[in-house]
Chain A
Amino acid sequence: MTETENGSDLVLDGNAAAGLLQEIFVSDITSARIQCGACGSIAAVGSLRLYAAQMGAVLRCVHCDGVVMRAVHTSHDRWLEMTGARSLRFGRL
């Protein structure tokens, strides 16, 4: 990604991290509802803000910007860290 006047447009969302997350979770988790550990708000993983997509995925809460989930696909394995999430809920609403 290159310099752009509107820096906020560089931010994507959990939908763009879906491929990486599916390597880890095997099934798609973008419609799972995740609760932010910092502020308690609940959102679909696909709607979280995504940063640093070129290095992996840093998914942040839309309300408080807290890191909810991080993932990296290295040349050897895949890492996932979710200490910023209180819970992850799958299935139909």
Chain B
Amino acid sequence: MSEPPISRGFRSRRQEQTPKNRLPPGQYVTTDFPVLSAGPTPQITVENWTFTLQLGGAILGTWNWAEFETLPQTTIKTDIHCVTKWSKLDTAWQGVTFDDLLKAVGLSEPPAPYIMAHCDGGYTTNVPPADLVGGQGMIATRYEGLPILPMHGGPARLLVPHLYFWKSAKWVRRLRFMEKDERGFWESLGYHNYGDPWKEQRYDGD
């Protein structure tokens, strides 16, 4: 297939700084925070919010907002990479790590090899718990020190920054452990099942 013609003078606005060792292939740095949603922003009040860990038909643990806020809090600074090619560096998040969730329900390791994240509005994404342990994943409730805005996934979103950001599911409510892998919303429609930005795993077959 021939190369597309160059549009004279067109540059990505996002190309201001490209610290090459921090950007996965094909990504461009952005200073804003684009909003991408598969549906309308759910209107969730923390009074009605609960978060649950589930294995089969069993509830391993469930918290309301007040209870969740008393769990150990961790803050991290990390880069995030969206499959639509924007990356945002040094973003600050606070929340409860997956490790601390497991501890809170008395588990020293994940009880099953796969997880499906379920969210208000119906969005789903599958992530292996092996990619959440060791501080790799958290349920985040603060961005840059403030409660996460609804359009960015508030009151709580999953955060798995080493994978493409569609895996950091907005409005997360439940992590369901699974014995067999199942594909979530985008993974069942042509997107890569795992989504490692450093291997540029955007689509199924990459």
Contacts and interface: CB of A to CB of B under 8 A. Distances in A.
- Are any A and B Cβ atoms less than 8 Å apart in their complex? yes
Interface string A57-89: 010100001010011101111110100000000
Nearest to B82: A54
B58 interface: no
Nearest to B186: A55
Contacts of A65: 39-40
Given A55-B83, A55-B186, A75 B35 contact: no
Given A7-B151, A55-B84, A55-B166, A74 B190 contact: yes
A70 B189 contact: yes
Contacts of A67: 38-39, 122
Contacts of B39: 51, 58, 60, 65, 67
Nearest to A76: B205
Given A72-B190, A79-B190, A55 B33 contact: no
B67 interface: no
B36 interface: yes
B141 to A, nearest CB: 19
Contacts of A49: 40
B191 interface: yes
Contacts of B40: 8, 11, 49, 51, 60, 65
A39 interface: no
B41 interface: yes
Contact of B189 (A3, A7, A54, A81): A81
Contacts, number: 75
Contacts of B90: none
Contacts of B34: 1-3, 54
A43 to B, nearest CB: 16
B109 interface: no
Contact of B191 (A4, A8, A72): A72
B38 A51 contact: yes
B159 to A, nearest CB: 19
A51 to B, nearest CB: 5
Contact of B151 (A3, A55, A70): A3
Nearest to A1: B34
Given A10-B37, A11-B40, 17 more contacts: A2-B32, A2-B35, A3-B32, A3-B151, A7-B35, A7-B41, A10-B35, A51-B38, A51-B39, A55-B38, A55-B166, A55-B191, A65-B40, A67-B39, A75-B205, A75-B206, A79-B190
Interface of B: 32-41, 83-84, 122, 151, 166, 186, 188-191, 202-206
Closest 9 CB pairs of A and B: A74-B203, A79-B190, A72-B190, A74-B190, A54-B84, A2-B32, A52-B38, A58-B38, A76-B205
